[in-house]
Amino acid sequence: MIMSKFVVFFALMVITLTSYAQSDSEHLNFKGVPIDGTLGEFVSKMESAGFKYLAEQDGIAILQGDFAGFKGCTIVVATLKSTNIVNTIGVMFSEQNDWASLENSYGHLKSMLTEKYGEPLECVEKFQGYDPQTDSQKLNKLKFDECTWYTTYSTPKGDIQLSIDNQSVMSCFVALRYFDRLIQKQLEHRQWKIYKIL
């Protein structure tokens, strides 16, 4: 079943929603489309932008298409289940089975994002335990969750996070997540969890 492949995309995160600028009235955009509206409305706009609809389940839609010059990306559209309002978009780039390719894709996207959004709010790029020297050692660190590699950008409309992730020891990829701030403001001072959904 197509959804089962995507059940583990978003890394478990607990986000504390604190004070954001109250003057913001616009949503973060993805491919020129505001991250807003119902799942059906947003998916329809993504289809109009050239993405192919694949599946939908439990407030999550899966699409496929090209993004940022990369072919065959998987796009995940997630809603706040209580409201059916879209608030998070994830992009899973094609799986790669060597560290050099993952790091190259990550570096390319990081450069593009820095040019567009400015210096990142946070950047963590490290391995746990010993410092791996070879490509295969670095890839194994990622596969066995001994690698933390992400960069977060903060904008008035929301946050964007780029990361190198793994779904299992068999699947490693670069991911990009967009978190709309206007929706987050509705949940201010509460904690909420975004579970792995791919």
Q: Model confidence over 46-104: pLDDT tens digits?
A: 999 999 999 999 889 999 999 999 999 999 999 987 788 898 999 999 999 999 999 99
User: Per-residue confidence at 32, pLDDT binned at 50, 70, 90?
Assistant: confident
Per the CB < 8 A criterion, the answer to whether 189 and 86 are in contact is: no
DSSP 38: B
**Single pTM value for the model:** 0.80
What is 81-122 written as a DSSP string?
TTTTEEEEEEEEPPP-SSHHHHHHHHHHHHHHHHHHH-S-SE
The CA distance from 158 to 145, in Å, is: 27
Q: Model confidence over 97-133: pLDDT tens digits?
A: 999 999 999 999 999 999 999 999 999 999 999 999 9
DSSP 35: S
